[in-house]
Structure 1
Amino acid sequence: MKETTITELSYSKKEWGQEQQSWSTRSEFFVTLHDREDRKQQVVNFLAFINEHNLLPVPANESIRTLDIGCGVGDYALGLSQEGYHAHGIDLATGMVQGAKQIADKEQTLLTLFIGPWSEELRQSQNWDHAFDLVYSIFCPVMLDFDNLAAMTKASKGKCLLLAFADRKDTIVEYLRTIFVPKQDLPMDANTDAIIDYIKTIGQNVEATYQVATERESLDIDKAVEYFALRVMDDFDGTKEELYAKLKEALAPFTKESIVTNETEDTILWLSWEPK
């Protein structure tokens, strides 16, 4: 049986090292997230959307190639591979890509993985000119950049798909921001109207759909501290122990009998198009 491969591409470690380390630190959590039922359902919904909107040729076979930009630990690429497509994934974080291989090997599923930051220069270096039947990206902040969307479009010979948060309402995260004062270089919430307008200049058969997803989640206090630490760790100067202690104190208003309850409401843009 063929094995999942990882290729590290050429890029500036000095320019990208801090962000790479930041996301790699989160990779262990995302590996454990892979087996959660809600995560599995997200992949099911993704595959259903692709089928309903005819974003890939059927039946699946290994000559039909897909590329996941910002693939993380590969949940969606794994879903496509298990359907029979030749699934590729690229992510800046070494830990994420290694996590994807770990899961793929465990599930005996083939992926072709790359480590590197998405850009037009990287696309050209790999000769990814109309190279994939479907190029997609799911909640990847760098894909809110128009140049990266253009590079994404050039890599496709069939369809493109972007999922982005148009709006996020997270009770606890919004509260924690008042304490930790996050300073993000790249927003997680997209100006979706501007993105759609731009895609119409470089693509055709553009389809935009908005979905609202609500969730009420309960975690024991230790798991909650571990999870929310991932959301604020880049903005905290101190040790891990100090961060956990401050978070446990901050989560007290949301904690009852050692259980933390959080409510979220996400408005998600599903945007598909074809290259002109």
Structure 2
Amino acid sequence: MEFYSDFSKNYDKIFPLNNKKLELIDDTFKNLKKQRENIKLLDVGCGTGSYSIALAEKGYQLKAVDIDAEMISMAESKMKEARVDIDFYRLGMLHLKDKFKSSSFDGVYIIGNVLVHLKKEEIKKFLKLAAELLDEGGKIFIQIVNYYRILELNLEGLPTIYSQDDSVRFERDYKYQEEKNTIYFISRLIDHFNDQILSENKIELYPLCKSELEENLNEAGFEIGAVYGSPNGDQYRELNSIPLIITAQKK
């Protein structure tokens, strides 16, 4: 996607690695009945690879996929600098079986609101695919936006994100299309010094809420584990939590 290729140059400024989220992911997988160096993880929608690299540094075995070639290229460059070994693939979420065999992984994680780029039925298909790729007792970690809050409060966007160096800002607006039950996600990356729009995008997202996600996970063969309302591991609150984070284990 052209937007994500353009956005990749500033991706790490807008979405730097969140140490609390990293810790939450680590806590989810490190308790599997293996030593870390034997735990195989799949990062779906890896972006520029920050979380893959950080987890590889902790000793996990990582494979990672993203649909955008520029993101993958940046991830591979960062991996070399970090001197870790990760296999990165340019691959869509619904084509994982093109590269990976059943029961290949102990854990799958999909963060950063990636999952809802799929349509309603595609989300079900992905979760069943993830279950196939997981070994017995494997876990999945999912982070999306809390769409229940957005729909119930009729919110038109999320807070603007400012880069740590204050050079760019990321504006995020939502427009709900009730007749289609989709949300238009309208985003703009803006040079904060001169207000020049560097890139902008409009894409349809599926407003997946907690109850439906849990139902889909159960149907795919998962048992719900923890539900969080922040990367800090706070309790999920329907009308207050900005993200929705769910972990589940393959039955």
TM-score range, shorter chain: 0.5 to 0.7
Could you tell me which residue of structure 2 aligns to residue 82 of structure 1? 57
Instruction: Find 1:47's aligned residue among 17, 20, 23.
Output: 23
Instruction: Find 1:92's aligned residue among 67, 79, 93.
Output: 67
* Helix, strand or coil at the partner of 1:159: strand
Q: Deviations over 1:27-70 (max 9, x none)?
A: 11114457xxxx33x24433344326755445321x42110000
Could you tell me which residue of structure 1 aligns to residue 145 of structure 2? 165
- Gap regions ≥5 residues in structure 1: 1-19, 215-264
Q: Is the 8 A contact 1:47 1:79 kept in 2?
A: no
Q: Deviations over 1:151-176 (max 9, x none)?
A: 12211111111111114652454679
- Gap regions ≥5 residues in structure 2: 151-156, 161-170, 176-183, 187-201, 233-239
Q: Does 1:124 align with 2:97?
A: yes
Q: Mark the CA change 1:106 to 1:127 in structure 2 (over 3 Å): closer, same or farther.
A: closer
Identity over aligned pairs, percent: 16
Q: Is the 8 A contact 1:47 1:80 kept in 2?
A: no
Q: Does 1:192 align with 2:238?
A: no
Could you tell me which residue of structure 2 aligns to residue 235 of structure 1? none
**Size of the alignment, in residue pairs?**
197
Q: Deviations over 1:10-34 (max 9, x none)?
A: xxxxxxxxxx222112111114457
What is the alpha-carbon root mean square deviation over aligned residues? Answer: 3.0
Q: Is the 8 A contact 1:82 1:109 kept in 2?
A: yes
Q: Distance in 1 between matches of 2:46 and 2:80?
A: 16
Q: Is the 8 A contact 2:230 2:245 kept in 1?
A: no
Q: Mark the CA change 1:105 to 1:54 in structure 2 (over 3 Å): closer, same or farther.
A: closer
Q: Deviations over 1:90-133 (max 9, x none)?
A: 000001111111111122222110002111xx233224211111
Q: Is 165-174 or 194-203 further displaced after alignment?
A: 165-174
Q: Does 1:26 align with 2:7?
A: yes
Could you tell me which residue of structure 1 aligns to residue 134 of structure 2? 156
Q: Mark the CA change 1:181 to 1:275 in structure 2 (over 3 Å): closer, same or farther.
A: closer
- Which one has the largest radius of gyration? 1
